[in-house]
Chains A and B, each alone.
Chain A
Amino acid sequence: MDDLLAEFIAETREMLEATGGELVAWEADPADRARLDSVFRFVHTVKGNCGFFDFPRLAALSHAAEDALADLRAGRREASAPLVSAVLAIIDRIAEMVDAIEAGEELDSGDDAALIAALAADHAPDSSADAPDAPAPLLPEQLMMRRSDPAANLIAPRTIRLPVELLDRVMIGVSDMVLARNDLAHRLRIAGTQPTIDGPFERLTAILSDVRDAITRMRMQRIETLFGALPRLVRDLSAELGKQVLIDLEGGNVELDREMIETIRDPLTHIIRNAIDHGIETPAARLAAGKREMGLLTLSAHQSGNTIAIVVSDDGRGLDAEKIAAKAVSSGLITAAERATLSREKVLQLIFEPGFSTAEAVSNISGRGVGLDVVRQNLEKVGGSIAVSSQPGVGTLFTLQIPLTLSIIAGLTVEVAGQRLAIPQGYIEEIIEASAEALDYARMGETALVTFRGERVPCLLLADVLGLPAPEMTQGTHTLALLRLASGDLFALAIERIHSHGDLVVKPLAPAVMKCGLYAGSALLDDGQPVLLLDVTRIAAEHHLLSDTRARTAPRKAEIAGDMAQSAGRVMLFTGLDGRRAAIRLELVQRIETIPTSAIDRSGARPRAVIDGVILPLTGLGDEPLVRGKLRLLRLSDGLTELLYAVRDVEDATELPASLGAAEDDPLVEGLALIGGRPVAVLDGHGLFARFGDAPRPATRPQCLLPDTEWARSILGPLVEAAGYQVADPAESNASKAVTILMEDVYEAASHVGQLPAGPIIRLRDHPDAAPDSPSIYRYDREALIKALREVRDSAPLARAAAMGAVA
């Protein structure tokens, strides 16, 4: 096809998509000049472009619509529902014609004339003088519009169209470059440090990662392109069904992979159809129910990490759990006995089961043979999920979770029987490493179970799944990945060890490999080695670990968990710096930190440490000096205050037995527990926080102003900094909060003229000898100086209080 023609078709399509939403908005508010202008621009551009080609019918249609719209713009006509519908019909026809032109077909000359006549339907009452097809006199404004280049009307940033294939080629090229860089990095490491090469190499690395980001973004598209068509869809549907629906779109600037957009287009459309058809009531029913006549359909997109959540909510009648349950029982999805055990929320999810459809009569809107089960399937195929929640009479809310992109995913590389395989990170609930006894591994016929947090979880051996030699599970320690499927099912996959984790660029596999049914794709690791990406959902399905059976065993699991309720909660086991085994309640542990010992400040009355820019109290250090360069810490939090507890080693999280032995006299120990046959001191969270807890404080050190001499800068300065101060720049410091060190003579001079600094002052003198009660310190009396600095700092609350006062 002629390039020019292809360009014309593509441009018209793009504008059609963008105009769809404008049209509906304009219909809702005919006085909205901006919308009218943009609709007018569309038909005008189409008309103008037709001039280059021989499309007389297209030209006639767009010309007629343009005239009608021009009348509106000039105020010669009022917008009315029939007129808007007629314009919409013409725009639809234009879309059909564009399709036909692209396919090289001749669209049968339907009722163009009727469409054009419809424009004039309510024309006559306004001004009978103007025949619709007679050229209207041109207004100056119109003249301007005609002269202007249509492209100039586009407000969007400049864009060009590219074949996706070309993008893919560039992406492959960049991936190749990254691998070549990694190879080079490896060789450079072997060759040792070479400053002349390392610098440029670092720059290359930075540039490459920039380029890679940009390339990834090239594949991204704003979800707006999908949202753009929805107002029109909603308008047409609600008109057809005699309902009034207002659509509210939010988060159109969220970006996702353009192929993903195509994948969710149908599921999303289906849900919207459902909402309008079944969810939102007729205006009369809504009024009777005390709602506004017009139903509200809200779509919002949010990105969080690597997933996008799209929420579709309506304020309709909501889902009828009883009806759904009855339907599910009658169609054999569940038994009546199972029904009794299911919660309302679980019942609602049944609408995604294959073979379920609530509509009594199949309407031509939502009953098109495609059920919500297909919607769920399609989403799960790309690693997404869907859930529904609903309040009767209030509305229904569908939540779709979809991964940002098909081609780059976060993955965990694991090793089994000498082979590396990747698991998408999204499935991984937790990695546990535990002994066979702790796992309570049990073979049940051909399947196996492990116990995880009091739940019996089916366990697959990855080696078995792959037909590789499997390890003996009844002994030794094992690494298990707990995988949570999109359907909510949980199962354990025994692996040998974790290799690495990171972003994987996933490539499709050859059909012969896909046929194995175990793999979703392949990826290259940083060292250029290929790995296979496991198709977790399919593996689970093959082993019958998916969905419906699970939904019904879940309550039973909860019963089993009920037995565990006797246990007094979970604790984290660790070995303290004093070599004593101890435990602390898991809820208190926020995370485990490792800090260099240089971040610890033991100079104050209580040890403190700086983590992530905040100062936290530190306990558990004991009196021993810190020999190691790094220290492991438990970061504990009671919600408001935090503290750090130094440990030698973190062991494991475990159940706390119901009864605790009497504690020693230590006020910080709640009691003694027997865990694994050995006594463990359980720390008293209340006692710890009562004594040490402190709200995190920003790690700004107190400031200190030094005398302006070389001696002060080079000799006094380091000492002051070692004492935990920051040497302040006199020009910038806030003198009222800073400590000032003054030489005695300067102090006297300043006090004479009454210009003493506002903050605390430490006075230094030049001679060792002085009167016993002298307020000054000999400048080489290190101990006295440090003591003075500390006293000032420990009275810091004073300064802080002053600062607060200033704020108040």
Chain B
Amino acid sequence: MSALLLMVQIGGRRCAIEAQDVKSVIDLGVIAPVPRAPSFIAGITALRSQALTVIDCRLAMGLSDEVWPCDSRAAVVAVEGHSYALMVDAIEDITTGLSVPGQIPGGFGAQWSRAADGMIETGIGPALLLNLPALIVGPETSISRNVHAA
């Protein structure tokens, strides 16, 4: 697999997003918060005349509110006709994937397994390949799903 990947850091972990899913990388401007929305929704912001939903990926992965560094840029992705801006620690680089996503013994942990397709080898080392539709659902639903499963 030699697809281009956008490399990002989420909660200190290196993750990869398939570059073909990324519409652009923007400088995050003013974010209008959305009262009463789940915490991983940082708010909405404007990309030209479009409104983007800003997702804080750290919170969407269910990480605690430890203070992570935050890149002033965000990756814009479209899922099911809606556009999202992904807030991450850092947007690193664009590189080439060197393997197909695979699992590792012991798994990645519940949240990461939910939102990632697996580990992928890249030009700058291994990374988790993110599954965008699963990522933007956020941690809450997964908890309720676990409750249903139980």
Contacts and interface: CB of A to CB of B under 8 A. Distances in A.
Contacts of B84: 510
A509 B35 contact: no
Nearest to B40: A512
A530 interface: yes
Contact of A419 (B33, B37, B80): B33
A507 B45 CA distance: 13
Given A518-B36, A532-B32, A512 B46 contact: no
Contact of A510 (B32, B33, B35, B53): B53
B4 interface: no
A511 B82 contact: yes
A508 B34 contact: no
29 contacts: A172-B49, A172-B50, A176-B48, A179-B48, A180-B48, A419-B33, A420-B32, A466-B35, A466-B36, A468-B35, A505-B49, A507-B51, A509-B44, A509-B51, A509-B53, A510-B82, A510-B84, A510-B136, A512-B136, A522-B44, A524-B46, A529-B30, A529-B32, A530-B44, A530-B45, A530-B46, A531-B32, A532-B32, A532-B44
B35 A467 contact: yes
| Interface size, A (range) | 20 to 34
Interface in B120-150: 136-138
A645 interface: no
B37 A530 contact: no
A542 to B, nearest CB: 11
B81 to A, nearest CB: 8
Nearest to B81: A508
A512 B44 contact: no
Contacts of A530: 32, 44-46, 51
Interface in B3-54: 30, 32-38, 41, 44-46, 48-51, 53
B49 A178 contact: yes
A524 B34 CA distance: 14
Contacts of A180: 48
A513 B46 contact: no
Contact of A524 (B36, B37, B38, B49): B49
**Residue in B30, B37, B136 whose Cβ sees the most chain A Cβ within 10 Å:** B37
A175 interface: yes
Nearest to B49: A175
Interface in A385-441: 419-420
A519 interface: yes
Top 10 nearest A-B pairs (CB, nearest first) are A175-B49, A466-B35, A510-B53, A522-B51, A176-B48, A510-B82, A176-B49, A530-B44, A516-B36, A530-B46
Contact of A513 (B37, B50, B80, B137): B37
A529 B48 CA distance: 10
B36 A467 contact: yes
A518 B82 CA distance: 18
A242 interface: no
Interface size class of B (residues with CB under 8 A): 20 to 34
A518 B49 contact: no
Nearest to B52: A530
B137 A512 contact: yes
Nearest to A507: B51
A193 B82 CA distance: 41
Given A510-B53, A512-B136, 19 more contacts: A176-B48, A419-B32, A419-B33, A419-B35, A466-B36, A505-B49, A507-B50, A507-B51, A508-B82, A509-B44, A509-B51, A509-B53, A513-B41, A513-B53, A523-B51, A528-B46, A530-B45, A530-B46, A532-B44
A178 B49 CA distance: 8
Q: Give the dominant DSSP class at A's interface.
A: mixed
In the complex, which of the residues A505, A519, A530 has the most CB atoms of chain B within 10 Å of its own CB atom? A530
A512 B53 contact: yes
Interface of A: 172, 175-176, 178-180, 419-420, 466-468, 505, 507-513, 516, 518-519, 522-524, 528-532
A507 B52 CA distance: 10
A495 B66 CA distance: 34
Contact of B37 (A420, A508, A516): A516
B51 A516 contact: no
A512 B41 contact: yes
A415 B118 CA distance: 45
Nearest to B83: A510
Contacts of A510: 53, 82, 84, 136
Contact of A512 (B30, B38, B48): B38
A505 B49 CA distance: 9
A505 B51 CA distance: 11
A518 B35 CA distance: 9
Candidate in B45, B48, B138 with the most chain A CB atoms within 10 angstroms:
B48
Contacts of A528: 46
B138 A512 contact: yes
B42 to A, nearest CB: 11
Given A468-B35, A519-B34, A179 B41 contact: no
B108 to A, nearest CB: 23
Contacts of A516: 34-37
Interface string B35-78: 11110010011101111010000000000000000000000000
A285 B121 CA distance: 83
Nearest to A463: B35
Given A512-B38, A512-B136, A179 B53 contact: no
A172 B49 CA distance: 7
* Most chain B CB atoms below 10 A, which of A172, A511, A512, A522: A512
Contacts of A513: 34, 37, 41, 44, 53
Contacts of B51: 507, 509, 522-524, 530
A747 to B, nearest CB: 70
A465 to B, nearest CB: 8
Contacts of B46: 524, 528-530
Nearest to A521: B51
A536 to B, nearest CB: 15
Contacts of B48: 175-176, 179-180
A513 B83 CA distance: 12
A522 B80 CA distance: 17
Nearest to A466: B35
A419 B37 CA distance: 14
A758 to B, nearest CB: 64
Interface string B99-111: 0000000000000
B137 to A, nearest CB: 7
Contacts of B38: 512
A512 B51 CA distance: 14
B2 to A, nearest CB: 31
Contacts of B36: 466-467, 516, 518
Contacts of A468: 35
Nearest to B35: A466
Count chain B CB atoms within 10 A of each CB in A172, A179, A522, A531 and give the residue with the most: A522
B28 to A, nearest CB: 12
Contacts of A522: 44, 51
